[in-house]
Amino acid sequence: MKEKVLGIVAEYNPFHNGHLYHIGKALEITGASDVVVSLSSNFVQRGEPSMVDKWERAKMALLQGANLILELPSAFSCHNAGVFCSAGVDLLASTGLVTHISFGMEETSFHSLKSVIDILIEEPPSFKKKLRQYLNCGNSFVEARSLAMEDMIPGSGELLSQSNNILAIGYMMRIAQKGYALTPLPVKRIGRRYLDEALSDLASATAIRKAVKSKGLDGIIAQVPESTFSILKSAFERGRCAVEDDLLFRMIVSSCLRSSKDEISHTAEIREGIENRIIEAAKRSSNLEELVEKVATKRYPKARVQRHLIHILLSYDHWTNVAVQRLSVPYIRVLGFDDRGRHLLKKMKDRAKLPVIDKPRHIPSAYGETITNFEYRATEIWEMLCTFPQRRREIVQKPVII
């Protein structure tokens, strides 16, 4: 009988009590022997730098039940939900070991979930027509898709409007599209929703980050495992965290002001003249929140604007983005492992469908080199957001071993 291995796509920004619950519940349901995590790099899906670097977050996960942590490079981790989910699933599938993929959902019992996924994959003419109509009314893509699906399957609109559900459906769509032999395992979320800013014992990562920025670490001691708190405390004391919005704002504005309109228009995902709003807002804003609000519209919600700004900062160009969406992840990079993870790595030598690396090195493809070069640039820029940056960390850092 094939050994069950649980896969999770995560940011762990930071790892909190809800994440601990999720891992425990998924292991309980599946009876899996090991946990492999596809972990976002230093820039995350909502267009923000991670609080602490990817190796520190890998350590958080390893100390709380994960066995092997793989990097989801910044070119994929700081992207729309479709790219983020697809790349995360592709990475886990490429190990040749993962049998189950688990994720949180606000509601796991929606009766027509398979029908929703089938429509999203096949995009029948009736759905595409409704989607186009709602987009033409100025709705964001997420809102338009939710409204169109509600017309097709009553009750499904709310399912597609909640952040965790959007990601969950993205994972299941990718599994179905690629025909992966992976069993999806939704786990009903408990506690606060993903973007809820209220602080409780099961607070969201959003609430935890907000509390850290406004009150410091002491305000979150009840919301995270002791090991996470210890890692965060050490990182803050060493100046190894990226939580200063003012510094990020100045770096983004500098990037916008030194770039021509044509250069900004050729940045990943920028279209429909949004570069004009970005350029004008960069000239007139005094802080990051104001900059995002000046650019945001009904069609371009704040998270999308934040990604645009980070893409400008990282010089994420249109053609790299085209390749990313067409080719997905080109290698498996190991961020950390424990003893069981070491055993998994030995198995991956024979089963992995992509090259397995622990540091950036020559990847036998121009595309692979493009992704490693982008990751190097993203990590160096993340380091500039720290009080005490560690240059060339991307090149010299070894995997975390627990």
Q: What is the pLDDT of residues 10-31, one digit of tens each?
A: 999 999 999 999 999 999 999 9
The per-residue pLDDT for 2 is 76
The per-residue pLDDT for 297 is 94
C-alpha distances (whole Å) from 143 to each of 153, 158, 232, 281 are: 15, 10, 36, 24
Tokens (6 digits) for 125: 């003419």
Question: What residues form the annotated binding site for ATP?
Answer: 9-22, 104, 164, 189-190
The per-residue pLDDT for 163 is 85
Q: Is 237 left (phi over 0), alpha (psi -120 to 50) or beta?
A: alpha
Gyration radius of the chain's alpha carbons: 20
| Residue 104 near residue 202, CB atoms below 8 Å | no
The per-residue pLDDT for 37 is 99
How far is C-alpha 389 from the chain's CA centre?
23
* Cross-strand bridge partners of residue 102: 8, 185
The per-residue pLDDT for 107 is 77
> Which residues, other chains included, contact 264 with Cβ-Cβ below 8 Å and sequence gap of 6+?
256, 270, 275, 278, 279, 312
Question: What residues form the annotated binding site?
Answer: 9-22, 104, 164, 189-190
Tokens (6 digits) for 77: 């981790």
**Over its length of 402 residues, how does the chain's per-residue pLDDT go in tens digits?**
679 999 999 999 999 999 999 999 999 999 999 999 999 999 999 999 999 999 999 999 999 999 999 999 999 999 999 999 999 999 999 999 999 999 999 877 777 888 999 999 999 999 999 999 999 999 999 999 999 999 999 989 888 888 889 999 999 999 999 999 999 999 998 865 545 555 666 788 999 999 998 888 988 999 999 999 999 999 999 999 999 999 999 999 999 999 999 999 999 999 999 999 999 999 999 999 999 999 999 999 999 999 999 999 999 999 999 999 999 999 999 999 999 999 999 999 999 999 999 888 778 789 999 999 999 999 999 999 999 999 999 999 999 999
The candidate with the shortest Cα–Cα distance to 16, out of 291, 282, 210, 305, is 210
* Cross-strand bridge partners of residue 13: none
